[in-house]
Homo-oligomer: A and B are copies of this chain.
Amino acid sequence: MSDTKPIALDAMGGDHAPHEIVAGAVHAVRERGLAVVLVGSPRVLYEALADHDATKEIPIVRAEETIAMDEGALASLRRPRSSIAIACHLVRRGDASAVVSAGSTAGIVTTGRLRLKAQQGVLRPAIAVALPTLPKPTLLLDAGANAEVKPEMLVQFGHLGSVYAELAYEIAKPKVGLLTIGSEAEKGNKIVKRAHELLQNSPGLHFIGNVEGHDLLTGVADVITTDGFTGNVALKTMEGAVRYAFSELRQTIDGSRMSKLGAFMQRSRLRELRRRLDAEAHGGAVLLGLNGTVVIAHGSSRAAGISAACRLAADLSAQGVVARIGDRIAATQRPHRLRTS
């Protein structure tokens, strides 16, 4: 469909911008056959493209301002011509199909909400992250866009995640769990308890009940809904715990009296496993509920991660995720209209 429109790639955001971002763009274009425009400082980007002999393959759109990695929401307001703002603008104008950025998450969320606006009926856009469960990922959302929520938002996050799971992982009727501190309906804080009631009565949603922290990686749910505070803490705790287990393990292996060859093999297998668990390989998080597809690549992304994020953005855009979410939200609101009319 609109797949010929390019991905607008924020070339100035991320710990390894602009060189790894540009390298990722080159990979996405040459190896994945995607169309990409780089948004950022033309002089810098032209030079970086020249290193890859790619100045003729990838166009540049000028943006002289940048939101730094440690800047938050306010910077988005202060810098209306930042690379992420221009990338959003390209999508809004219909000149690009989706945005990819490895910049500051707070900056992307605020700029996205400001430039692309929330879709009609969407209370709050949310960040969905794919957790490395097998055979299919579990989507956790909100992973950090909304530190404060209302119960109704937790229900919507369930719907947003369901649409994503249907499109990206071809799950027919995604199972939705509510993250809380016990399996019984009355477990949790006030917001979660109310959300539990609403989820039980939300048409078109396959609510399986409460889930807990240890369920994030068991695949018991396809979609796990939570507020952005809890979701962000849980996600970072998970990343930290996996990193910790691996580092302890590496010491264990290195300290054991195995042959050098055996230890070498173990380490290479460990690396392989670690890659699979690595968030970057999944292409990053998706900001759902805006009038445009926005993929947030991990801040530490290198070329491979950026290229995977471009693939994810192109796929979601081609599958019409925005329209599908629009339909879904409209459907959930119909009974309300009936009741109030």
Q: Which residue numbers of A lie inside 8 Å of B, CB to CB?
A: 70, 72, 106, 144, 147-148, 179-182, 184, 186-190, 192, 212-218, 226, 228-230, 232-246, 248-249, 252-253, 255-259, 262, 265-266, 269-270, 272-273, 277
Q: Collect the chain B residues with CB atoms within 8 Å of residue A148's CB.
A: 189-190
Q: Collect the chain B residues with CB atoms within 8 Å of residue A180's CB.
A: 229, 233
Query: Chain A: interface secondary structure?
Result: helix
Inter-chain contact A217/B234, CB cutoff 8 Å: no
Q: Collect the chain B residues with CB atoms within 8 Å of residue A192's CB.
A: 229
Number of copies of this kind of chain in the complex: 2
Which one of B144, B238, B258 contacts A237 once the chains associate, using CB atoms below 8 Å?
Answer: B238
Inter-chain contact A217/B244, CB cutoff 8 Å: yes
Inter-chain contact B237/A214, CB cutoff 8 Å: yes
| Alpha-carbon distance A249/B215, docked complex (angstroms) | 19
A266-B273 contact in complex given A147-B189, A184-B72, C-beta closer than 8 Å? no
Inter-chain contact B249/A241, CB cutoff 8 Å: no
Inter-chain contact B243/A246, CB cutoff 8 Å: no
| Alpha-carbon distance A246/B217, docked complex (angstroms) | 12
Inter-chain contact A186/B147, CB cutoff 8 Å: no
CB-CB nearest in chain B for A237: B213
Inter-chain contact A213/B232, CB cutoff 8 Å: yes
Q: Collect the chain B residues with CB atoms within 8 Å of residue A230's CB.
A: 229-230, 233
Inter-chain contact B249/A188, CB cutoff 8 Å: no
16 residue pairs of the A-B complex, CB under 8 angstroms, read A147-B181, A147-B188, A179-B233, A181-B228, A181-B232, A226-B233, A237-B237, A237-B238, A238-B241, A241-B241, A245-B245, A252-B273, A253-B269, A258-B262, A258-B266, A259-B262
Q: Collect the chain B residues with CB atoms within 8 Å of residue A106's CB.
A: 182
